[in-house]
Structure 1
């Protein structure tokens, strides 16, 4: 993917535009706003509310991208008493000089936030690293087809692939079935997408699905739960 451009979204935070795909990495209505709402509020916070006794959570992210979801999650759990083991896959990691042009650090001006952002991007690929007492990160350079961890490895999946219209293979029943297999019983799958065929496919592979109000600029989003068998 060449000629990726930095753009500013409506909440003032950066995103990236891929002109050849006419696709952005985040909602143009607000990159940080979307990530905090879709993945933290409707994903992590929801899981914590459902499982208040659980003090260690394993998260899989499909699409590391700019590292925004990782960074915001790491910030959210600082001093929370919660431990996050975060795994993020990305086939095409961005170049450091492009990451440096993003303004996320300016939106969270504490030294701790800036330090965490740097650590997220300094972590070597394929190596597990403790970037704080509350947060372990493993970045994996691969695609979803060849990614093969153990079944029932994760409590929560952030599914942040490009839209179905741009990357339809990522939203196939085969991929969604794999996501279902990778989740532990009662695990949660969350994504910004609310496309009709996607929701039907999510149900078809075994998820209990919810249509939720979307972030600014988007009517709906989707959450799925892998129900525990009795």
Structure 2
């Protein structure tokens, strides 16, 4: 079945190899997540390579910035993780094209969250007000920002972890420029990291040009490599 976002982009719900849902955009011939497994990709790339290392050293709160709220999968998994974390999480997420409620319902949250008691969080994430902080639990505060990254002024030296989850460079080239990664570098705290499913050489070169220290690490199922970049603390 086909749906439309609020700005008229057509999307279709698809099931990925691990049984979790993603969205397909016919106009771009692009999926929101890996077809090898949306859930596996999110857990490996964003939580495993980005959030978890920071939680091991954090004493109070971890500040996360997500580029591309999309289906809310990364936010949902991060909220779930916060329930057992020693540190709280402040989660800012940026989305230019929010999904309508019909699409959210069609994703089937039960495919992401096995514990029925936690499924209500998916609805709360999508139902939260835009452009203001909303405390969803004692340890998780969400701020959804509606707009494009290029038109958003981010706080300097703020974020400990950046989830960079834009569409692929060949599908959305304006999101993979030197200027974008300089903007994110300036918004990231010293020692903070940026993680992405992408491992293209052009992406890594843009990160390095902005000042990031870049490494290729093993990717999620179906993908050999991914990228993690760190803002140096020297």
**TM-score scaled to structure 1, two decimals?**
0.95
- Structure 2 residue aligned with 1:92, among 94, 97, 102? 97
- Structure 1 residue aligned with 2:15, among 8, 11, 29? 8
CA contact (8 A) 1:105 1:117 kept: no
Is 1:40 matched with 2:47?
yes
1:74-105 superposed Cα distances (whole Å, 9 cap, x missing partner): 00120322200000000000001101000233
Partner of 1:59: 64
CA contact (8 A) 2:199 2:227 kept: yes
CA distance in 1, matches of 2:215, 2:112: 31
Instruction: Name the count of aligned residue pairs.
Output: 227
Partner of 1:181: 186
Partner of 1:29: 36
Is 1:205 matched with 2:210?
yes
Runs (4+) of structure 1 exceeding 4 A deviation are none
Structure 1 stretches lacking a partner, 5+ long? none
Partner of 1:73: 78
Structure 1 pair 213/170, CA: closer, same or farther in 2 (3 Å)?
same
CA contact (8 A) 2:19 2:111 kept: no
Is 1:126 matched with 2:131?
yes
CA distance in 2, matches of 1:7, 1:46: 31
1:184-214 superposed Cα distances (whole Å, 9 cap, x missing partner): 1001111000001111111111111110011
Is 1:217 matched with 2:222?
yes
CA distance in 1, matches of 2:197, 2:58: 27
SS across alignment from 2:106: coil
Structure 2 stretches lacking a partner, 5+ long? 1-7
**TM-score scaled to structure 2, two decimals?**
0.94
SS across alignment from 2:161: strand
SS across alignment from 2:69: coil
1:120-142 superposed Cα distances (whole Å, 9 cap, x missing partner): 11101112111111100000101
SS across alignment from 1:211: strand
Is 1:105 matched with 2:105?
no
Partner of 2:168: 163
1:128-187 superposed Cα distances (whole Å, 9 cap, x missing partner): 111111100000101011110221111110000000010011010000011100001001
CA distance in 2, matches of 1:160, 1:62: 6
CA distance in 2, matches of 1:202, 1:19: 29
* Cα displacement (A) at 1:53: 4.3
